[in-house]
């Protein structure tokens, strides 16, 4: 058995790696794993660092039985009879990845999806989520500062750079803390206060975003207080107002009392309850993963019928196209991180504009802090590598010896969808 690490080629910004040189060295020393790494000119860890760790640098991964990546493998690069481990983005039947899934099946591959490596409570065990949150909140407030400036309001936030322009997450934190200190001293212009920032969700992504946001001067209130005490908040010029929304705030039962367990099992029994909070928000940071069974947070109809909202920017860190945020209709990247939606005309323009609602929808945000994000991810993933490497994928699914979290994440086995993912056949048939 040989393991391979593929070169990421989603775009010029994708500099992450699933396993860093330090952890490759540890795996080689502990298990004697032969490792082949595709060369890359943009990866956060260069080829020489991998060579020093004991890995081989080679374009050809045909000799590797087990291939790790971060993002989707382009259809034309899928090799036969390989075990692939990466973020496949197929479990919702995403149409843009069905051709890739079919190719994996046609070529008799195995597919393990990081997104589905979860514990018995469905909590992810390997994730970049916190770094998506950290980069996403910075991008969101970079856009928000531009929006304020276009509307004639100048704030200390104009000193905020995009995440990739900082040398490290630590440098970003130091600069953000300085900006926060200046806000606390000088305050915001009266015409923009209170600045209310809503966080939809409270998981890893939201926690990462809040970790950075809390470096600024923040007063946290409950959603109910936002409605009941909004007039009193208008005098708050030296702090942001932060509100975290949980499921009990965002949805309501169609037929009775809210029940979180029921909502997770059968979300179609619920409808959105978020409309009542939207008029009070300046910024919405969306950290909720969405399926087509879930109610939306924001719809086009709502925006069209409520034209005088103070909502200026949505940081859609979850990036579900036409999902929880219906106006998220495309992915962006750090070079062009935003677009603006105009509800009356149902049209979009690239970039942050004076009017309309600006959306930040970068779908691979952790790539803006590639070293730190890769290291944290790799330190967890390395604990699963040998088990995956050592498994005999030629056995039947029932006989296959894998720990439950890994077995739950096996979407394709010997070219066929496993039982838990057989529902994806309906999406493949539409291709």
Closest Cα to residue 81, out of 408, 413, 421?
Answer: 413
Answer for the pair 117, 126: CB distance below 8 angstroms, yes or no: yes
Q: Tell me if 245 is assigned to some domain.
A: yes
**Strand 347-350 versus strand 66-68 pairing type:** unpaired
Average pLDDT, stretch 59-67?
96
Query: Does residue 430 have a pLDDT over 80?
Result: no
Q: What dihedral do alpha carbons 315, 321, 322, 328 form, nearest 10°?
A: 30
Domain of residue 142 covers: 129-368
* Rounded distance between C-alpha atoms, residue 158 and residue 152, angstroms: 12
Q: Tell me if 166 is assigned to some domain.
A: yes
Q: How many domains does the chain have?
A: 2
Whether 392 and 404 share a structural domain: yes
Residue located via tokens 């200046």: 182
* Rounded distance between C-alpha atoms, residue 18 and residue 113, angstroms: 12
CA distances to 102, 142, 321, 393, 425 from 421, rounded to whole Å, are 13, 39, 21, 17, 8
395-410 pLDDT, tens digit each: 999 999 999 999 999 9
Q: Tell me if 275 is assigned to some domain.
A: yes
Answer for the pair 239, 219: CB distance below 8 angstroms, yes or no: yes
Q: Tell me if 191 is assigned to some domain.
A: yes
Write down which residue in 347, 368, 389 finishes a domain. Answer: 368
Q: Tell me if 321 is assigned to some domain.
A: yes
Strand partners, 221: 243
11-37 pLDDT, tens digit each: 899 999 999 999 999 999 999 999 999
Query: Does residue 392 have a pLDDT over 70?
Result: yes
Q: Tell me if 430 is assigned to some domain.
A: no
Average pLDDT, stretch 372-388?
95
- Predicted local distance difference test score (pLDDT) of residue 205: 95
pLDDT band at 121 (very low <50, low <70, confident <90, very high): confident
Whether 34 and 174 share a structural domain: no
- Predicted local distance difference test score (pLDDT) of residue 431: 53
Whether 106 and 198 share a structural domain: no
Whether 20 and 167 share a structural domain: no
Write down which residue in 324, 348, 368 finishes a domain. Answer: 368
Closest Cα to residue 249, out of 238, 265, 260?
Answer: 260
- Predicted local distance difference test score (pLDDT) of residue 376: 95
Whether 22 and 119 share a structural domain: yes
Q: Tell me if 49 is assigned to some domain.
A: yes
Q: What is the pTM of this model?
A: 0.91
Task: Take residue 278 and report the two structure tokens written for it.
Answer: 């939207």
Whether 230 and 353 share a structural domain: yes
Strand partners, 86: 113
Whether 335 and 394 share a structural domain: no
Whether 29 and 135 share a structural domain: no
Q: Tell me if 429 is assigned to some domain.
A: no
Whether 113 and 163 share a structural domain: no
Q: CB neighbours of 350 closer than 8 A, spacing ≥ 6?
A: 336, 338, 339
Task: Count other C-beta atoms under 10 Å from residue 52's C-beta.
Answer: 12
Whether 330 and 279 share a structural domain: yes
Closest Cα to residue 312, out of 365, 250, 354?
Answer: 354
Whether 312 and 357 share a structural domain: yes
Query: Does residue 368 have a pLDDT over 60?
Result: yes
Question: At 396, which CATH number?
Answer: 3.40.50.720
Whether 360 and 401 share a structural domain: no
Range of weakest confidence among 59-73, 114-128, 262-276, 304-318:
114-128
Average pLDDT, stretch 279-308?
95
Straight-line distance from the first to the last Cα atom of the chain, in angstroms, rounded to the nearest whole number: 34
202-258 pLDDT, tens digit each: 999 999 999 999 999 999 999 999 999 999 999 999 999 999 999 999 999 999 899
């Amino acid at each position: 058995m040989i393991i391979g690490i593929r070169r990421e080629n989603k775009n010029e910004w994708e500099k992450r790696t699933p396993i860093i040189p330090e952890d490759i060295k540890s795996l080689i020393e502990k298990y004697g794993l032969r490792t082949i790494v595709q060369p890359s000119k943009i990866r956060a860890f260069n080829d020489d660092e991998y060579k020093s760790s004991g890995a081989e640098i080679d374009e050809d991964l045909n000799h590797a039985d087990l291939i790790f990546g971060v993002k989707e493998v382009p259809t034309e690069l899928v090799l036969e009879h390989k075990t692939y481990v990466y973020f496949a983005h197929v479990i919702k039947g995403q149409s843009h990845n069905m051709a890739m899934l079919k190719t994996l099946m046609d070529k008799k591959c195995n597919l393990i999806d990081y997104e589905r490596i979860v514990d018995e409570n469905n909590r992810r065990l390997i994730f970049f989520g916190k770094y998506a949150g950290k980069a996403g909140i910075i991008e969101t407030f970079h856009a928000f500062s531009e929006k304020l400036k276009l509307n004639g309001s100048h704030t200390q936030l104009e000193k905020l750079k995009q995440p990739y322009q900082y040398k490290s997450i630590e440098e970003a934190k130091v600069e953000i803390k300085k900006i926060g200190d200046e806000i606390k001293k000088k305050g915001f212009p009266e015409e923009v206060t209170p600045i209310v920032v809503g966080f939809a969700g409270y998981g890893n992504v939201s926690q990462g975003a809040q970790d950075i946001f809390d470096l600024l001067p923040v007063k946290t209130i409950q959603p109910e207080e936002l409605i009941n005490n909004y007039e009193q908040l208008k005098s708050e010029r030296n702090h942001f107002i932060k509100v975290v929304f949980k499921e009990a705030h965002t949805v309501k039962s169609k037929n009775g009392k809210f029940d979180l367990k029921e909502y997770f099992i059968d979300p179609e029994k619920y409808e959105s309850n978020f409309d009542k909070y939207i008029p009070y928000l300046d910024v919405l940071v969306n950290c909720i993963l969405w399926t087509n069974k879930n109610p939306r947070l924001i719809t086009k109809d709502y925006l069209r019928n409520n034209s005088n909202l103070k909502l200026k920017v949505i940081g859609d860190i979850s990036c579900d196209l036409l999902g929880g945020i219906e106006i998220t209709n495309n992915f962006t990247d750090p070079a062009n991180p935003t677009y603006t939606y105009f509800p009356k005309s149902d049209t979009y323009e690239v970039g942050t504009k004076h009017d309309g609602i600006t959306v930040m929808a970068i779908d691979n945000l952790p790539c803006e802090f590639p070293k730190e994000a890769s290291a944290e991810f790799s330190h967890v993933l390395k604990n699963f590598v040998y088990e995956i490497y050592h498994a005999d994928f030629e056995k039947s699914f029932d006989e296959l010896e894998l720990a439950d979290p890994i077995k739950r994440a096996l979407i394709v086995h010997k070219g066929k969808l496993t039982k838990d993912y057989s529902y994806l056949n309906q999406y493949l048939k539409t291709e």
